[in-house]
Amino acid sequence: MFILYTIFGILVAIIITSYIRILYKSLRRVRVPISSGKSSELSVQIFKQAPGPKPWPIIGNLNVLDKYRDNPFAGFTELAKIYGDIYTLTFGHTRCLVVNNLELIREVLNQNGKVCSGRPDFLRYHKLFGGERSNSLALCDWSQLQQKRRNMARRHCSPRESSSFYMQMSQIGCEEMEHFIREIDAKMLPGQPFDVKTFLLRACANMFSQYMCSQRFDYDDEEFHKIVLHFDEIFWEINQGHPLDFLPWLRPFYQRHLNKIVNWSSTIRKFIMDRIISHRELDIDVDEPDSDFTDALLKSLVEDKDVSRNTIIFMLEDFIGGHSAVGNLVMLALAYIAKDPQVGSRIQAEVDAITDKGQRRINLLDMNRMPYTMATIFEVLRYSSSPIVPHVATEDTVISGHGVTAGTIVFINNYVLNKSPENWIDPHQFEPQRFLEESNKDSRDSRGSDSGIESDRKELQLRKNIPHFLPFSIGKRTCIGQNLVRGFGFLLLANLLQSYNVSSEDPTTISITPASLALPAKCFPLLLTRRT
Ligand code: HEM
C-alpha cells in the first residue's frame, strides 16, 4: 500500500510540476526596451504571447493535433480558423508559434531572420549527425561557421546558369541517364510493375556523387545500394514528426529506433570516408583550380584553421544526401503522371519537339524551352508542399505585436499558401499548367512551335516570382540546393519520359503522403513501357 501511495504521490508531483512549467512558459511576457523620444531615456514595452488553446500538463497541446497525424499542417490551417493566422501551441513543454500567412512568414524569415534562425534541439537530429546536430547544415543553429559553410557551398551547389559548373552538371546528368536507362532495360521485365524508386535514387545519387566528388558507383555495388537506401530512410525520417521530439522522456521506449538512425548515418559516413575522401586527400594540390566540391572542401581544410575534417565530412554527407530529395521529387512526378497520363504526354511533346523525335538526350540548355516540364516539377513542389524545416527564436522578439520568447519553435505553414483557393484556382487539382503564362514572343517566328503546348498566338513560358510560392523558403536559411533540384530533377524527368511511357496497373493504389516530399523507402511500383 505504501508503495502505491508513493507512486501516486510521485505522479501527482510530476503532473503539478509539469503544469507549472507549462503555465510559466505560456504566460511569460516579452519586454522590449524602446526609446521614449527624449534622447537617452528608454522605456519598456511589454508584449503578451499570441493566443492559443489551453495546454494540458505533460503533453501540452499535442492532443489537439492528434487527429491530424497524417498532415499536421492541415491541422495548423484548421486551428488558424479558430485562433487567427498567428497563434501559439505548447508541444510537451516546448512553446511553438505557428504563422499562417505570407505577411507573417515574411516577418519571421526576413525581418526577424537574425533572431529566428535557430533549429529545434531534437534528440533525433543529434543522432543523425554523429551525436551533434551542429554538424548538419540544415539542422544546426545559425552561426559564423554556418555562414562560412554556406559560402563554401554556394559556388558548387548553387551553380549559375552561365557557369562552367552548370555545364558540368548538364554533362554529368546526361551521361548518367545513359547508364540509368541501360540499367532499367536490363532489370525490368516488360509489362511487369517495376520498383522505379530504388533505381531512380541510385541514378540520382550517382549524379550528385559524380558532380560533387567526380566519382560514380556501379549499379551492382552492394555497398552503394546500402548507403542510397540509408540516405532515403534518413530523408523519410527527417520529414516525419516523432513523439520523442517533444516528449524526450520517452527515450527508453524508442532506443531501438534511435540505434537504427545512428547505424544509418554512421554507415554513410564510413562509406564517404573510405570510398571518397581517403584517396582524394592524398592527391590534393592547393595551387590547382578546384575540380569539384570535394577539392574545394579539402583545400579549405588546409587553408582555413576554422575548418575541421569533421566539418568537411559532414558537409559532403549533407550535399550528397540532397539526391534523396531530388529522387523523391521525381518519383512523385512519375506518380502524378501515372495518375494523369495527359501530363506525361505533354512533357513528351516538349521532349520530342526539342530533340527532333529522340535524336539526342535532353540537356540543361533545353530547360528554358521546355516550360511544361519545369511547370510539372513546380506543381509537384506545390502539391506536395514540402514543409519548411522549423525555425527557433534564439532571443525574445516580437512578431506582429505578439511576444515570442527565446526557445520558441516557429512553424511556417507553407501548406496554407500552397493549398489556399485565394492563391490558386482549384488548389487540390494537380495541374502544371498553372505555372505557365503567355510569353511576349509570337510563337510563329520562334523555334519549338510544334511542341504542342502553345496557345493559338503565343508561346507559353514559366511564371516566375510567384510571391506565395516558397518551396525553398526565404531569408537567411533558404535552401542551398535549389539549382541542383531544378537541374538534376529536370534531366531525370525529361530523359525518362523520352524513353518510357509511365503508367500504373491500378493508379488508385498509388498512395502519397500529404504535405511531404518524402515517400516511404519501399513504395508503389510503376509500369515503364519503352517508347517506340
Ligand atoms: C526538392 C528538393 C528540395 C526542397 C523542396 C528543399 C527545400 C528546402 C527548405 C524548405 C529548406 C529550409 C529553409 C528554411 O529553413 O527556411 C531547405 C534547407 C536546406 N536545403 Fe534544401 N530542398 C531541396 C533539396 C535540396 C538539395 C538537393 C540540397 C543540397 C544538395 C539542399 C540543401 C539544403 C541545405 C544545406 C539547407 C539548409 C540551409 C540552412 O539551414 O542554412 N536542399 N531546403
pLDDT tens-digit readout, 417-426: 999 999 999 9
Are 98 and 89 within 8 A, CB to CB? yes
Ligand 1 mean position, distance from CA 61 (Å): 29
Query: What atom of ligand 1 comes closest to residue 414's alpha carbon?
Result: 10
Q: How far apart are CA 267 and CA 262, in angstroms?
A: 8
Compute the average pLDDT of residues 144-165: 88
Ligand 1 mean position, distance from CA 481 (Å): 6
- Specify the DSSP element, H or E, that contains 279: helix 278-282
Ligand 1 mean position, distance from CA 264 (Å): 20
Q: Please determine, for the modelled complex, whether the ipTM score is greater than 0.90.
A: yes
Q: Which residues neighbour 306 within 8 Å (Cβ) at sequence distance 6 or greater?
A: 145, 148
Query: What atom of ligand 1 comes closest to residue 320's alpha carbon?
Result: 30
Query: What atom of ligand 1 comes closest to residue 387's alpha carbon?
Result: 10
Alpha-carbon separation of residue 478 from 112, 165, 367 (angstroms): 14, 21, 23
Q: What is the CATH number of the domain that holds 327?
A: 1.10.630.10
Lowest mean pLDDT among 60-69, 160-169, 389-398: 160-169
Q: What's the CA angle centered on 110, arms 105 and 115, to 5 degrees? A: 100
Give the per-residue pLDDT at 25: 95
pLDDT at 309 over 90: no
Dump pLDDT digits (tens) for 238-264: 999 999 999 999 999 999 999 999 999
Give the per-residue pLDDT at 35: 78
Dump pLDDT digits (tens) for 43-67: 899 999 999 999 999 999 999 999 9
- The residue count of the chain comes to 532
459 versus 390: the higher-pLDDT residue is 390
Helix (H/G/I), strand (E/B), else coil: 509: helix
Ligand 1 mean position, distance from CA 485 (Å): 9
Query: What atom of ligand 1 comes closest to residue 325's alpha carbon?
Result: 2
pLDDT at 447 over 60: no
Query: What atom of ligand 1 comes closest to residue 381's alpha carbon?
Result: 5
Residues with CB under 6 A from ligand 1: 137-138, 146, 150, 157, 318-319, 322, 325-326, 329, 381, 386, 388-389, 471-473, 477-481, 484-485, 517
Structural domains in the chain (count): 1
pLDDT at 450 over 50: no
- Residues of the chain with pLDDT > 70, as a percent, come to 96
| Cα of 252 vs its chain's centroid, Å | 29
Give the per-residue pLDDT at 39: 63
On whether residue 299 sits in a domain, the answer given is yes
Ligand 1 mean position, distance from CA 388 (Å): 8
Ligand 1 mean position, distance from CA 67 (Å): 28
Q: How far apart are CA 354 and CA 141, in angstroms?
A: 45
Are 92 and 58 within 8 A, CB to CB? yes
**pTM listed for this prediction:** 0.94
Give the per-residue pLDDT at 37: 66
Domain extent at residue 248: 62-437+459-530
On whether residue 38 sits in a domain, the answer given is no
Give the per-residue pLDDT at 345: 98
Name the residue of 479, 484, 488, 517 whose CB sits within 8 Å of the most ligand 1 atoms, as the mutation to test its pocket. 479
Residue nearest to ligand 1 atom 13, measured at CA: 478
Are 412 and 105 within 8 A, CB to CB? yes
Which is nearest to 53 in space by CA: 45, 61, 44?
A: 61
Which is nearest to 497 in space by CA: 299, 371, 321, 351?
A: 351
Give the per-residue pLDDT at 364: 96
Give the per-residue pLDDT at 108: 98
Dump pLDDT digits (tens) for 258-288: 999 999 999 999 999 999 988 887 777 777 8
Dump pLDDT digits (tens) for 487-502: 999 999 999 999 999 9
Query: What atom of ligand 1 comes closest to residue 109's alpha carbon?
Result: 16
On whether residue 256 sits in a domain, the answer given is yes
Helix (H/G/I), strand (E/B), else coil: 433: helix
Give the per-residue pLDDT at 446: 44
- φ, ψ dihedrals at 316, nearest 5°: -60, -40
Compute the average pLDDT of residues 356-365: 90
Question: Hey, what amino acid is at 469?
Answer: F
Please state whether beta strands 436-442 and 458-462 pair in parallel, antiparallel, or not at all (unpaired).
antiparallel
Compute the average pLDDT of residues 287-311: 85
DSSP letters, 462-473, are: E----TT--TT-
| Cα of 16 vs its chain's centroid, Å | 39
- Residues of the chain with pLDDT > 90, as a percent, come to 80
On whether residue 407 sits in a domain, the answer given is yes
Name the residue of 137, 145, 411, 472 whose CB sits within 8 Å of the most ligand 1 atoms, as the mutation to test its pocket. 472
Are 90 and 54 within 8 A, CB to CB? no
Q: How far apart are CA 394 and CA 143, in angstroms?
A: 11
Lowest mean pLDDT among 71-85, 138-152, 488-502: 138-152
Assign 514 a pLDDT band (cuts: 50, 70, 90): confident
Please state whether beta strands 402-404 and 397-399 pair in parallel, antiparallel, or not at all (unpaired).
antiparallel
**Residue positions in the annotated binding site for heme?**
479
Ligand 1 mean position, distance from CA 480 (Å): 6
Q: How far apart are CA 167 and CA 377, in angstroms?
A: 21
pLDDT at 38 over 70: no
Give the per-residue pLDDT at 456: 52
Query: What atom of ligand 1 comes closest to residue 319's alpha carbon?
Result: 30
On whether residue 283 sits in a domain, the answer given is yes
On whether residue 442 sits in a domain, the answer given is no
On whether residue 2 sits in a domain, the answer given is no
Residue nearest to ligand 1 atom 40, measured at CA: 138
Compute the average pLDDT of residues 96-110: 98
**Look-up of cell digits 516557429:** 410
Compute the average pLDDT of residues 170-174: 97
Ligand 1 mean position, distance from CA 403 (Å): 28
pLDDT at 311 over 50: yes
Ligand 1 mean position, distance from CA 478 (Å): 7
Residue nearest to ligand 1 atom 32, measured at CA: 481
Residue nearest to ligand 1 atom 4, measured at CA: 472
HEC string of 54-106? Answer: CCECCCECHHHHHHHCCCHHHHHHHHHHHHCCEEEEEECCEEEEEECCHHHHH
On whether residue 195 sits in a domain, the answer given is yes
Residue nearest to ligand 1 atom 19, measured at CA: 479
Question: Hey, what amino acid is at 97?
Answer: L
Ligand 1 mean position, distance from CA 15 (Å): 39
Lowest mean pLDDT among 101-110, 212-221, 457-466: 457-466
pLDDT at 458 over 80: no
Ligand 1 mean position, distance from CA 468 (Å): 18
Residue nearest to ligand 1 atom 3, measured at CA: 325
Residue nearest to ligand 1 atom 43, measured at CA: 479
Query: What atom of ligand 1 comes closest to residue 208's alpha carbon?
Result: 30
Average pLDDT, the chain: 92
Assign 442 a pLDDT band (cuts: 50, 70, 90): low
The DSSP output letter for 522 is S
Sign of CA dihedral 389, 390, 391, 397: positive
Give the per-residue pLDDT at 451: 46
